[in-house]
Structure 1
Amino acid sequence: MIRIALADDHKLFAKGLEGLIEEHSGFLVQGVFPNGKELLEYLTEEEVDLVLTDLNMPIIDGFGVLKHCKKHFPAIKVIVLSMYDEEKIFKEVMQLGADAFILKDADPDELIFTITEVYEGRYVKNFQRVIQQANQGPFFDAFRDKYRLSRRETQILKMIADGMLNRDIADELNLSIQTVETHRKNINQKLQVNSLMDLINKVNEMNI
């Protein structure tokens, strides 16, 4: 069970994020806090494995949370949530010791995979991965509408159709091979295919 504490001053977003995370087995959101001060006070009394923190919060912001956690709670992993896909901000939080950086409008599955990879020590820190969270295109739109694939799943599907192997996909997207394999399994289930040939045929049927 991955024990999580969440700090964000937007109540609706925070509650929605809490519900999203707890839809998945193996995750427990122990507390949701409107600012960094209340979060840090909680951490002095309770043990968690991972903190999700917004950057812009009152009293103590995400930068303050990150600095304090890395100094006083080094065992706790910290994932920064942000609305801004700016490399300057990414580099700043990485220098402060953030374990991951994810956009607030990233796909839900991207958040879940990021939490899992950070917890298991497999997350690859790379700004291009952040940029890819926001990229879309006609291929994504068509498959999303018909098969309910996520942005990341659609991206990987196109790369599979282009003949790329799991290792190549992992390197290109700055993901672990295990993550790519999990995405492929989910893609096969959603498209109801059992082999690579069936998968390619499905892509060809979409004429994309």
Structure 2
Amino acid sequence: MDKISPLNIMVLCNQLLYLEALKSLFNAESQLSCKGILMSNPQATSIIKNEDPALLLIDANSMGKKIWNFLYEIRTNTPQIKTIILANNNDPIHLDMAKDNGISGYILKSSPIELLMATIKIVKNGGEFFDRGNYGEAEKDISFEEKYKLSKREMEIITLITNGNTTKTIAQQLGLSFHTIEAHRKNIHKKLNINKVTELIKLISEFDS
């Protein structure tokens, strides 16, 4: 059997410790290979073009408003590179601008690591994911996950369901079998006492309101 080459990721960030932490996280995964660039590097754009990673992960908050010009340049010169943004907030205007700039993924820094990893898989397989957030908000006494005793995997699947994915596409994106996802969905319905996706969306909306 041929050995599967790891997915090449490049992280662009202005904080060295954060950059090294992400590199260590990704390089610990056998299916991922990661390099990093500090945004202060004047050759950043050229390095990205020469390295030609499959996926570019950008710390948006380190760039400020300059990120939109940078993304336009990346999309123009290297349209084959898929991009995921890490950000402190997900204001609708920022999500819209990210989509307009060809971004495939948008993740809050407060989101679980599992969601970031899942997003990488989604983007790798040609999909898109834009994080709605609401993880560990200070004003909430208990999270949705804690209230209904949901596992990290179940929350991951719930997020994908509410973004319009079918059991088949979720299985493909997470690298799991169709029957495994079906089993997770049945457990989720049982825990939440629901029968339909519309009831799931309504329950989440009421919790977040």
Normalised TM-score (structure 1)? 0.67
**Displacement of 1:173:** 3.5
Separation in structure 2 between the aligned mates of residue 113 and residue 26 of structure 1, nearest angstrom: 13
| Match of residue 106, structure 1, among 105, 108, 111 | 111
- The verdict on how the C-alpha distance between 1:203 and 1:113 changes in structure 2, with shifts beyond 3 A counting, is same
Aligned to 1:69: 74
Separation in structure 1 between the aligned mates of residue 112 and residue 169 of structure 2, nearest angstrom: 15
Separation in structure 1 between the aligned mates of residue 114 and residue 45 of structure 2, nearest angstrom: 27
**Displacement of 1:58:** 5.4
Aligned to 1:94: 99
Q: Deviations over 1:136-163 (max 9, x none)?
A: 744523687xx9x42x63475xx6xxxx
Aligned length: 178
Instruction: Say which is worse superposed, 34-43 or 97-106, in terms of deviation.
Output: 34-43
Separation in structure 2 between the aligned mates of residue 143 and residue 31 of structure 1, nearest angstrom: 38
Is the aligned partner of 1:172 residue 2:162?
yes
Q: Which amino acid aligns with 2:146?
A: D
Separation in structure 1 between the aligned mates of residue 143 and residue 64 of structure 2, nearest angstrom: 43
Q: What secondary structure is seen at the aligned counterpart in 2 of 1:131?
A: coil
* Alignment check: 8 A CA contact 2:114 2:156 kept: no
Q: Which amino acid aligns with 1:55?
A: A
| Match of residue 13, structure 1, among 10, 13, 18 | 18
Percent identity for Structure 1 against Structure 2: 19
Is the aligned partner of 1:45 residue 2:45?
no
**Displacement of 1:2:** 1.1
Q: Which amino acid aligns with 1:77?
A: K
User: Where in structure 2 are there 5+ consecutive unaligned residues?
Assistant: 1-5, 193-209
- The verdict on how the C-alpha distance between 1:40 and 1:135 changes in structure 2, with shifts beyond 3 A counting, is same
Equivalence map 1:179-198=2 (5 Å): 180-181=170-171, 182=174
Separation in structure 1 between the aligned mates of residue 41 and residue 98 of structure 2, nearest angstrom: 15
Separation in structure 1 between the aligned mates of residue 166 and residue 66 of structure 2, nearest angstrom: 31
Aligned to 1:163: none
**Displacement of 1:170:** 4.5
Separation in structure 1 between the aligned mates of residue 110 and residue 28 of structure 2, nearest angstrom: 18
- The verdict on how the C-alpha distance between 1:138 and 1:92 changes in structure 2, with shifts beyond 3 A counting, is closer
Separation in structure 2 between the aligned mates of residue 30 and residue 96 of structure 1, nearest angstrom: 23
Regions of 4+ moved over 6 Å: none
User: Where in structure 1 are there 5+ consecutive unaligned residues?
Assistant: 160-168, 189-194
Cα-Cα RMSD: 3.8
**Displacement of 1:184:** 7.9
Q: Which amino acid aligns with 1:21?
A: F
Aligned to 2:36: 31
Q: Which amino acid aligns with 1:17?
A: L
